[in-house]
Chains A and B, each alone.
Chain A
Amino acid sequence: MILAFGVWGYITVAWVVTFSVLGLYSAWILRRGRELSRDVPEDQRRWM
């Protein structure tokens, strides 16, 4: 499929996959942080 787009197909796939993976990983970290924050008392999660 990406062959049909030539070089720009590979460029697009590289950029989209990179941005998507980093976006999904960031979202997972933020979501996990919110979930865990509910289980931990306030005095143990005071960030600077």
Chain B
Amino acid sequence: MTAPAPGSQLAATRVAPNSTGSTATRVLGTASLAGLAALAVFGLAISPSDAKLGETIRILYMHVPTVSVAYLAFVLTAVASAIYLWKRTEFWDLLAASSAEIGVVFFGLTIFNGMMWGKTTWGTYWEWEPRLVTTTVLFITYIGYLVVRTIPTEPRTRGTISAVIGLMAVVNIPITHKAVDWWRGLHQSGTVLGKVDPDMKGSQLFTTYLGLTTFLVLFAWLLIHRFRVAFLAERAAERGLQGAIAERRAEGGPAGGGTRP
């Protein structure tokens, strides 16, 4: 009997770790932390205040990346939902759900940062104006999507219902984005893919792109981990169900010894 090679145990650990981590997530996680640290330095110290927005531009360094990632997450949910309805594989259902949950977190932060910015600029945390109303509807719709996924039912039924909601909900994104152009309100016109020239340069522009890049990397890291958690939860639920069935069978006594109806 030969002793195992020194590296074999390490290799086995890498293949099946006791977590949702992998080489890819470690790289993305390290890049996210470095990006967030750099973003804090640039966003709070190096970047100068804006001629029009003043110091409040520093809130927008959080607001713009979070809303961009949230929209991306919701679009990914819709794409994965459509593919799920076509392919009917677990991968796309779990990807859609994972992306939606992360999107809700980022969108909640978008609303919160918007409220902070609104208080400093408009003098109020909230105003029932078109952009904020459509944003609220979008937020509630995706919370509804996540609530529907918690209803105990057969995975295929859950996947189908939530995929339909995921496809319907994404329609509200262009409505929310264009609300500032279609109806007059307090919120400024669209900056990202919009008519307003942000007139940014130098470290302000760099900080904005740094925020977008960092939050995109963070989104990728979160999505991989969240997908794996969802995958493990499905496997654990299956094992629990199989265990319960085995227990019920065991209650019936030895094979063939159970009472027949």
Contacts and interface: CB of A to CB of B under 8 A. Distances in A.
Interface of A: 7-8, 10-11, 13-15, 17-19, 21-22, 25-26, 29-30, 32-34, 36-40, 42-48
B105 A22 contact: yes
Specify which of B22, B108, B116 lies most central, judged by the most chain A CB atoms within 10 Å of its CB. B116
- Chief secondary structure at chain B's binding surface: helix
Interface in B207-246: 218, 222, 225-226, 228-229, 231-233, 235-236, 239
Contacts of B131: none
B68 interface: no
Given A10-B120, A29-B225, A15 B44 contact: yes
Nearest to A44: B235
Nearest to B24: A48
Interface of B: 15-22, 24, 36, 40, 43-44, 54-56, 58-59, 62-63, 66, 105, 108-109, 112-113, 116-117, 119-120, 218, 222, 225-226, 228-229, 231-233, 235-236, 239
B171 to A, nearest CB: 27
Given A14-B58, A19-B40, 6 more contacts: A10-B119, A32-B233, A33-B19, A36-B233, A37-B19, A40-B235
A8 B228 contact: no
A13 to B, nearest CB: 6
A20 B109 CA distance: 11
B62 A15 contact: yes
A36 B234 CA distance: 10
- Chief secondary structure at chain A's binding surface: helix
B248 to A, nearest CB: 20
A17 B63 CA distance: 12
A14 B116 contact: yes
Contacts of A8: 55
A21 B233 contact: no
Contacts of B43: 15
B54 A29 contact: no
Given A15-B40, A33-B229, A46 B117 contact: no
B30 to A, nearest CB: 13
A6 B109 CA distance: 21
Contacts of A26: 222, 225
A30 B113 CA distance: 25
B55 A7 contact: yes
B236 A36 contact: yes
23 contacts: A10-B117, A10-B119, A10-B120, A14-B63, A15-B43, A15-B62, A17-B112, A17-B113, A18-B66, A18-B112, A21-B109, A22-B109, A29-B226, A30-B21, A30-B225, A36-B233, A37-B20, A40-B236, A45-B16, A45-B228, A47-B17, A47-B21, A47-B228
